[in-house]
Amino acid sequence: MGPSAARSSAAPRWPPLSALAACKSEGASDGGSGSDGQSDGTLSLSVVGLSCIDPYNVQDDTDISVCRQVFDPLMTYDFKKDEVVPCAAESVSANGDGTVFTFRIRQGATFHNGDKVDAAAFQRG
């Protein structure tokens, strides 16, 4: 979608919200507190429109959301600290001119199947 297809900033954005609010019926339940759920169960979700699960190639919100649940990135954003922090990486350092970054992978990190995570897992190509 190019710039010419973008919505005008003057276009009203409240109709979809009011339509969504009208969908709640009388006597509808909010689902309860969730305190009676199981901690050792399995949660299954359906995802519509998943087009890619390669974290290098994800392009849309659905793919990004799924990949964030499956893969740990080297770095992530900590909203409480308001900064980028290590995730799968233990630390990151840069050379003097900021052209080469070295990530140290967190010790003991494993994939879902138990295989050890190493630097080769993050290489592309």
- pLDDT tens by residue, 107-121: 998 988 999 998 888
pTM of the model: 0.54
3-state helix, strand, coil in the chain (%, to 5): 20, 15, 65
Q: Which amino acid is at 78?
A: D
Q: How far is CA 121 from CA 16, 73, 92, in A?
A: 43, 11, 17
> What are the pLDDT digits (tens) for 24-37?
444 445 555 556 66
Domain boundaries, the chain: 73-125
| Closest by CA position to 121, among listed 85, 84, 86, 106 | 106
